[in-house]
């Protein structure tokens, strides 16, 4: 790009070159006319003769060859260590006998300079996906939470007081070591892939019958908001591998899909929702009992769906992606 003090702009170069090539001016005379050196005038004339008007623009100053460029076999080793070992440029340089600055330049050129670009478990580049409309895919899973004893759990009252609360809570069971067991809350969660709108219920088990009931109610809940569910993605838990689950999906007109074994990243949207749910609801404050925590779930879900900005969809609440809500345009 021409700078403020440039003697020739692309338009002036064109006029200079035409004087020499088309009108037959001597190079020295044309150079004096435009107040440039003889080699400069000759260069633009030659480019015009060879390339025409298209050759009057600026070219990149990048060299055609780099004599000391990192050999390709070293580039492959750098990329391999970054993908598989997630090593820093300093650690990679120490292994390969290369300056850390050179390693960083290679990683930048290969777009691996940030570890966030590489999957933690597999070392492969992260591939993200999102279905193009609500209902194209929903994700289902179960989040297990230990029940809170009456008076509060150890996270807020400490270990000693928490143990006393567990011992004093009625309805508990004993394990092999005769210590009180409070039981488990199974939070069955459903997430729409496109909008991230969430639906959840708390139950005392994760059997196929319970999972099917949650799915039927979730499909009705989404249908009331104008969303027709087409596919459901689950992990390979026993409830989701059962024939009853398959038959229920067929009855609802939904295609059932499973994640690859030992690959929870495929269902990563609902895994990330569980992390948010645990931080913002399950362990967000002191609950005096399990009943109090369960009673707080519907309110938190409303806040998540209708008010909480979601960073993955442009910092807007998930419900804003449901464009066909009843009464939205009235």
Residues 300, 200 within the same domain = yes
Number of domains in the chain: 3
Q: Does residue 31 lie in a domain region?
A: yes
Residues 196, 290 within the same domain = yes
Percent of the chain clearing pLDDT 90 (strictly above): 52
Q: Using CB atoms within 10 Å of the CB of residue 327, give its burial: 0 to 12 exposed, 13 to 18 middle, 19+ buried.
A: exposed
Q: How confident is the model at residue 135 (pLDDT cuts 50, 70, 90)?
A: very high
Rounded Cα distance between 283 and 279, Å, is 6
> What's 254's domain CATH number?
3.30.420.10
Residues 272, 227 within the same domain = yes
**CB 290, CB 153: distance < 8 Å:** no
The answer to whether residue 329 scores a pLDDT higher than 50 is: no
Q: How confident is the model at residue 172 (pLDDT cuts 50, 70, 90)?
A: low
| Bridge partner list, 203 | 186
Could you report the per-residue pLDDT of 191-218, keeping only the tens digit for each?
Answer: 999 999 999 999 999 999 999 999 999 9
Could you report the per-residue pLDDT of 281-327, keeping only the tens digit for each?
Answer: 999 889 999 899 999 999 999 999 999 998 888 889 999 998 765 55
Residues 142, 111 within the same domain = no
Residues 280, 202 within the same domain = yes
Higher per-residue pLDDT: 86 or 227: 227
Residues 195, 316 within the same domain = yes
Residues 315, 269 within the same domain = yes
Its domain, for residue 311, covers 138-147+183-321
Asked whether the whole model's pTM tops 0.75, one would answer no
**CB 120, CB 83: distance < 8 Å:** no
Q: Does residue 262 lie in a domain region?
A: yes
Residues 50, 78 within the same domain = no
Residues 143, 280 within the same domain = yes
Q: Does residue 61 lie in a domain region?
A: no
| Bridge partner list, 186 | 144, 203
- Residue written as token pair 């345009």: 329
Q: Does residue 208 lie in a domain region?
A: yes
129: left (phi over 0), alpha (psi -120 to 50) or beta: beta
Residues 108, 221 within the same domain = no
Higher per-residue pLDDT: 265 or 249: 249
Residue among 297, 303, 305 at smallest CA distance from 281:
297
Q: Does residue 207 lie in a domain region?
A: yes
Q: Please provide residue 199's backbone torsions phi and psi, each rounded to the nearest 5 degrees.
A: -135, 140
Residues 239, 276 within the same domain = yes
Q: Does residue 280 lie in a domain region?
A: yes
Residues 296, 219 within the same domain = yes
Q: Does residue 228 lie in a domain region?
A: yes
Q: Does residue 230 lie in a domain region?
A: yes
């Amino acid at each position: 790009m021409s700078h403020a003090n440039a003697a020739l702009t692309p338009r002036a170069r064109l006029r200079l070159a035409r004087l020499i090539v088309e009108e037959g001016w001597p190079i020295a005379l044309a150079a004096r006319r435009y107040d440039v050196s003889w080699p400069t005038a000759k260069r633009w004339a030659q480019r015009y003769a060879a390339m025409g008007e298209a050759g009057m623009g600026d070219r990149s100053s990048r060299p055609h060859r780099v004599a000391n460029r990192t050999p390709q076999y070293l580039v492959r080793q750098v990329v391999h260590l970054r993908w598989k070992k997630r090593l820093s440029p300093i650690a990679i340089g120490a292994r390969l006998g290369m300056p850390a600055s050179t390693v960083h330049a290679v990683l930048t050129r290969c777009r691996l300079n940030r570890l966030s670009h590489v999957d933690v478990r597999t070392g492969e580049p992260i591939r993200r996906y999102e279905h193009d409309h609500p209902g194209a895919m929903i994700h289902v899973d179960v989040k297990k939470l230990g029940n809170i004893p009456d008076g509060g759990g150890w996270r807020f009252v400490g270990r000693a007081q928490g143990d006393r609360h567990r011992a004093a809570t009625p309805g508990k069971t004993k394990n092999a070591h005769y210590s009180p067991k409070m039981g488990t809350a199974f939070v069955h969660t459903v997430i729409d892939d496109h909008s991230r709108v969430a639906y959840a219920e708390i139950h005392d088990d994760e059997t196929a019958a319970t999972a099917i009931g949650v799915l039927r109610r979730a499909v009705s809940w989404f249908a009331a908001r104008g969303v027709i569910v087409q596919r459901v993605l689950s992990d390979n838990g026993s409830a989701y591998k059962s024939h009853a689950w398959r038959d229920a999906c067929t009855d609802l007109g939904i295609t059932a899909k499973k994640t690859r074994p030992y690959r929870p990243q495929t269902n990563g949207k609902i895994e990330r929702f569980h992390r948010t749910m645990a931080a913002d609801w399950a362990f967000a404050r002191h609950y005096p009992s399990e009943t109090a925590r369960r009673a707080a779930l519907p309110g938190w879900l409303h806040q998540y769906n209708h008010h909480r900005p979601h960073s993955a969809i442009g910092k807007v609440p998930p419900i804003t992606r449901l464009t066909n809500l009843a009464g939205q345009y009235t």
